């Protein structure tokens, strides 16, 4: 097994994430999936947990994972990320661990609802900007 394949990464990171955060889901995203990892690529990891964690412990665990993987690591508590980022990770990432599919489905559904609402709320802003650009071009 390739050490930096999704399976190899999972083998290395899951024991540490489980001990630190007790996640119900862990997702790889970015270039670390689909064989797009370059020599200078970092490894992007998102987790979901019922517990709340400050940014500093997440940062510390990210550093620990970086040492083990010999790569920079971006570790993200997905529950505290922006709605747009949540939707992007959930729709493009690779799930490498899940112990509660129902909870993950509920989180994903809520993120999509928030994303849809956000797009509806900002549509008038997009329309106004488009109209200004059209007006400026004439």
Task: Count CB neighbours of 45 within 10 A.
Answer: 27
pLDDT at 38: 81
pLDDT tens per residue, range 101-115:
999 999 999 999 999
Q: d(Cα 42, Cα 36) in Å, to the nearest integer?
A: 11
Model confidence at 36: pLDDT above 80: no
Half-sphere exposure for 73 (CA within 13 Å, toward CB) = 25
Greater pLDDT, 39 or 108: 108
Task: Count CB neighbours of 61 within 10 A.
Answer: 21
Phi and psi, residue 25, nearest 5°: -155, 145
- Residue range 57-70: mean pLDDT, rounded: 97
Q: What secondary structure does DSSP assign to 54-99, as a single string?
A: -HHHHHHHHHHHHHHHTS-EEEEEGGGS-HHHHHHHHHHSEEEEES
Q: Which domains does the chain have, with CATH numbers?
A: 6-134 (3.30.460.10)
pLDDT at 1: 55
Model confidence at 132: pLDDT above 90: no
* Burial class of residue 14 (count of CB atoms within 10 Å of its CB; 0-12, 13-18, 19+): middle
Model confidence at 122: pLDDT above 90: no
At residue 120 the predicted structure's pLDDT band, cuts being 50, 70 and 90, is confident
At residue 138 the predicted structure's pLDDT band, cuts being 50, 70 and 90, is low
């Amino acid at each position: 097994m390739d050490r930096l394949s999704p399976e190899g990464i999972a083998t290395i990171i899951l024991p540490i994430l489980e001990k630190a955060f007790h996640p119900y889901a862990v997702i790889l995203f970015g270039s670390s999936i689909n064989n797009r990892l370059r020599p200078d690529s970092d490894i992007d990891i998102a987790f979901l947990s019922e517990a709340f964690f400050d940014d500093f412990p997440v940062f510390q665990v990210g550093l620990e994972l970086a040492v083990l993987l010999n790569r920079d690591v971006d570790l993200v508590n997905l529950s505290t990320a922006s709605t747009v980022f949540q939707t992007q990770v959930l729709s493009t990432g690779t799930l490498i661990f899940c112990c509660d599919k129902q909870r993950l489905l509920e989180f994903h559904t809520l993120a999509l609802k928030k994303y849809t609402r956000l797009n509806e709320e900002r549509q008038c802003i997009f329309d106004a900007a488009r109209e200004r650009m059209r007006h400026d071009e004439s």
